[in-house]
Amino acid sequence: MKSIAVFCGASTGSNPVYVEAAASFGKLLAQHNIRLIFGGGKVGLMGAIADAVLTNGGQAIGVIPKGLVAREVAHTGLTEMHAVETMHERKALMAELADGFVALPGGFGTFDEICEILTWNQLGIISKPCAFLNVNHFYNQLLQMFRTCVEEGFIKAERLDTIILEEDGAALINKMRAYQPLPTTKWMSLKQV
């Protein structure tokens, strides 16, 4: 695994444990010689993880829409920065550059990003590991919602089983390296679309 895209908040959250976890995970990425692919901001958890990667000798590659450069205060000290036109282009380029994906705590943008990647895996557009760094049990409720989707017939159980959920960053990286993708099955025929 050469690169991991990390989706996380442009805010720090209300508990200092989130910034500490982002910095700790950034340090781990650098120590494991894994490039960080992220949203390109220097604020919030995005800034914390990028700064930790760079401080520890790693590579941090940002992908940011031009319209968010000022709002998310684009990081100016990165290994590479890609300024794209839209959020869709941002996600597509991050997916192309990354070998796997991790969600740290965040809000709507983080949920959108990781759920789109989960969907792409389900549809066979990509076949890469998706993980949640469950800092302070942040993702417990979302994973429960996913379980409800399985119970109600909207997500297949084997798809849910491929999601990596870890509280420890090193264990998460090890599980991502051991990831085995599921074969893609069709949910419906093209005639139904």
Banded pLDDT at 191 (limits 50, 70, 90): very low
- Arithmetic mean of pLDDT over the chain: 93
The torsion angles phi and psi of 85, rounded to 5 degrees, stand at -80, -40
Per-residue pLDDT at 185: 60
Give the residue with greater pLDDT, 192 vs 113.
113
What are the residues whose beta carbons fall under 8 Å from the beta carbon of 93, sequence distance 6 or more?
A: 63, 82, 84
Integer CA distances (angstroms), 50 to 32, 41, 150, 164, 183, in order: 15, 9, 35, 22, 34
Per-residue pLDDT at 186: 55
Percent of the chain with pLDDT over 70: 94
Give the residue with greater pLDDT, 43 vs 69.
43
pLDDT at 192 over 60: no
For domain 3-192, which architecture applies? 3-Layer(aba) Sandwich (3.40)
Banded pLDDT at 72 (limits 50, 70, 90): low
Banded pLDDT at 182 (limits 50, 70, 90): confident
Per-residue pLDDT at 58: 98
Average pLDDT rounded to a whole number, residues 83-111: 96
Give the residue with greater pLDDT, 73 vs 184.
73
Average pLDDT rounded to a whole number, residues 158-165: 94
Per-residue pLDDT at 190: 42
DSSP string for 32-98: TT-EEEE--BSSHHHHHHHHHHHHTT--EEEEEEGGGTTTTTB-SS-SEEEEESSHHHHHHHHHHH-
pLDDT at 188 over 50: no
pLDDT at 35 over 60: yes
For the chain, the domains span 3-192
Banded pLDDT at 100 (limits 50, 70, 90): very high
pTM of the entire predicted model: 0.92
Per-residue pLDDT at 133: 98
